């Protein structure tokens, strides 16, 4: 079978930095899109290049984890000559992507109103903190702030502890994935109709949308979310972490049969017929009575012993460290770890795209050096000569 990247022939111009935006375009680049990353020469490029602890000359392992398979050019979008480069790139591309502050795309000429006349089929995607309209459009925003704004932290953590954020930057990553979906949908429509559009995604809206069923309960019936001990599910009992002799075990009794199997394997089949615990509703009402009993049973064996007994009968998992997670045989089976050569770091080991598609090339390139492809792109897509490029550099455009 000849390997063909599913997004081969798609070109994205990306004015992006840090996490959410680069994550979105890396998802596209992993699937074969040509992503040309615009970096500001006045600010030494993407701030992600300088995130510690592992840095090199204008590069970091953080940056590499968001920017593989891309090209980089330097271009000052605020320069009076910026359109001389931007507009020819737009004519040769399918999408102009940015993750700037919500008020900046229009000001910098990156929205559809500005670029539609240059190419009617262009898709202009803006991934911002609060969107391009509304009272907070001009505010910057980050994952930590959105977890607070959207109520996530109020329902995360132990009941008596301080509010907690999730470990990874889930809002950034989710908003990036969401905007990638929006870009692909808009490009598909543009290729059918010849007309592009604006695609707006915000961290705030993404975080609110991912409250999902909790939001529906609250908006429909006035449900007041709260924190539960042991990372427990709000309504399915028991679905939580349980202590073991040497660590922690997570069980998920999302069906009645799983609860029956759990208590049978734990040596207390009578708990399945106890009137207090017979149904989902019964267990929810009597959570405080059931959970201490289960904890008293779970601490009698090690995590490994429980996994051996429960797997195939009750959905369960160990609470792994990051090291243990990557040592899981499933990670090796799926080829999730990439080893990409790098001139400064020797090699960068990072996580592959979770999307698996047969007939897709599996080669990957390191994230680009700052402005590494400027000359190549300007000569190939803009039609500039070496002399024009050198002059533009002297003028501070590149």
Q: What is the pLDDT of residue 334?
A: 85
Q: What is the pLDDT of residue 3?
A: 84
Same domain, 38 and 170: yes
Domain assignment of residue 124, yes or no:
yes
Domain assignment of residue 220, yes or no:
no
Domain assignment of residue 224, yes or no:
no
pLDDT of 80 above 90: yes
How far is 144 from 149, CA to CA, in rounded Å? 9
Same domain, 161 and 305: no
Name the residue among 209, 234, 179 with its Cα closest to residue 26: 179
Domain assignment of residue 298, yes or no:
yes
CATH number, domain with residue 203 = 3.40.50.10540
Domain assignment of residue 3, yes or no:
no
Mean pLDDT along residues 373-387: 98
**Would the pTM of this model clear 0.75, i.e. be above it?**
yes
Name the residue among 37, 39, 35 with its Cα closest to residue 94: 35
Mean pLDDT along residues 327-335: 88
pLDDT of 353 above 70: yes
Share of the chain above pLDDT 70, in %: 99
pLDDT of 61 above 70: yes
Mean pLDDT along residues 286-296: 98
Domain assignment of residue 359, yes or no:
yes
How far is 363 from 252, CA to CA, in rounded Å? 38
Average confidence score pLDDT of the chain:
96
Same domain, 183 and 251: no
Mean pLDDT along residues 109-134: 97
Same domain, 126 and 90: yes
Same domain, 118 and 18: yes
Mean pLDDT along residues 370-383: 98
Domain assignment of residue 326, yes or no:
no
Could you list the residue range(s) of the whole structural domain that residue 282 is in?
229-319
Domain assignment of residue 219, yes or no:
no
Q: What is the pLDDT of residue 228?
A: 94
Q: What is the pLDDT of residue 207?
A: 98
Alpha helices in 78-210 (DSSP H): 82-91, 104-108, 112-115, 143-149, 170-193, 203-209
Same domain, 204 and 350: yes
Same domain, 202 and 233: no
pLDDT of 1 above 70: no
Could you list the beta-strand ranges (E) of the chain.
11-15, 34-39, 55-56, 59-60, 70-74, 95-98, 123-128, 197-202, 239-243, 248-252, 316-318, 337-342, 346-351
Q: What is the pLDDT of residue 360?
A: 83
Same domain, 22 and 116: yes
How far is 163 from 45, CA to CA, in rounded Å? 34
Q: What is the pLDDT of residue 164?
A: 95
Same domain, 248 and 99: no
- Residue 333 banded pLDDT, cuts 50, 70, 90: confident
pLDDT of 240 above 90: yes
Strands 248-252 and 316-318: antiparallel
Catalytic (active-site) positions: 172
CATH number, domain with residue 284 = 3.30.1540.10
pLDDT digits (tens, 9 = 90+) for 83-93: 999 999 999 99
Q: Is 217 exposed, middle or buried (0-12, 13-18, 19+ CB in 10 A)?
A: middle
What are the phi and psi torsion angles at 16 (to 5°)?
A: -145, 160
Same domain, 238 and 305: yes
- Residue 342 banded pLDDT, cuts 50, 70, 90: very high
CA-CA-CA-CA torsion sign (28, 337, 174, 21): negative
| More confident: 104 or 362 | 104
pLDDT digits (tens, 9 = 90+) for 174-192: 999 999 999 999 999 999 9
Residue count of the chain, please give it: 398
Domain boundary among 319, 350, 376: 319
Label residue 322 left, alpha or beta by phi (over 0 means left) and psi (-120 to 50 means alpha): alpha
What are the phi and psi torsion angles at 94 (to 5°)?
A: -100, -30
pLDDT of 13 above 80: yes
Number of domains within the chain: 2
pLDDT of 2 above 80: no
């Amino acid at each position: 079978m000849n390997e063909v990247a599913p997004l081969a022939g798609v070109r994205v111009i990306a004015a992006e930095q840090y996490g959410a935006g680069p994550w979105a375009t890396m998802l596209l680049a992993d699937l074969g899109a040509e992503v040309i990353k615009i970096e500001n020469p006045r600010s030494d490029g993407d701030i992600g290049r300088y995130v510690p602890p592992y840095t090199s000359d204008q590069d970091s392992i953080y940056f590499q984890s968001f920017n593989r398979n891309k090209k980089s050019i330097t271009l000052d979008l605020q320069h009076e000559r910026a359109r001389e480069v931007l507009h020819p790139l737009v004519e040769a591309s399918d999408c102009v992507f940015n993750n700037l502050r919500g008020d900046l795309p229009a000001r910098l000429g990156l929205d559809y109103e500005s670029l539609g006349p240059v190419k009617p089929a262009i898709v202009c995607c803006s991934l911002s903190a609060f969107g391009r309209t509304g009272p907070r459009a001009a505010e910057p925003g980050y994952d930590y702030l959105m977890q607070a704004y959207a109520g996530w932290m109020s329902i995360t953590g132990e009941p008596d502890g301080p509010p907690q954020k999730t470990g990874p930057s889930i809002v950034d990553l989710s908003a990036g994935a969401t905007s990638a979906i929006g870009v692909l949908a808009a490009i598909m429509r543009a290729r059918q109709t010849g007309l592009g559009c604006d695609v707006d995604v915000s961290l705030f809206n993404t975080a609110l949308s991912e409250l999902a069923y909790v939001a529906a309960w609250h908006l429909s019936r006035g449900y007041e979310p709260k924190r539960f001990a042991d990372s427990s599910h709000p309504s399915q009992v028991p679905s939580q972490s349980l202590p073991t002799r040497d660590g922690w075990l997570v069980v998920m009794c999302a069906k009645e049969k799983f609860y029956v199997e759990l208590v049978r394997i734990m040596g207390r089949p009578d708990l399945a017929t106890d009137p207090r615990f017979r149904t989902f509703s019964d267990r929810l009402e009597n959570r405080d009575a059931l959970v201490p009993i289960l904890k008293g049973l779970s601490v009698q064996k090690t995590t490994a012993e429980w996994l051996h007994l429960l797997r195939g009968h009750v959905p369960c998992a160990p609470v792994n460290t990051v090291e243990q997670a990557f040592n899981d045989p499933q990670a090796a089976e799926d080829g999730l770890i990439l080893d990409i050569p790098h001139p400064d770091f020797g090699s960068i080991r990072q996580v592959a795209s979770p999307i698996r598609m047969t007939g897709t090339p599996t080669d990957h390139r390191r994230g680009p050096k700052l402005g590494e492809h400027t000359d190549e792109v300007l000569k190939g897509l803009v039609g500039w000569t070496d002399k024009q490029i050198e002059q533009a550099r002297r003028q501070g455009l590149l």
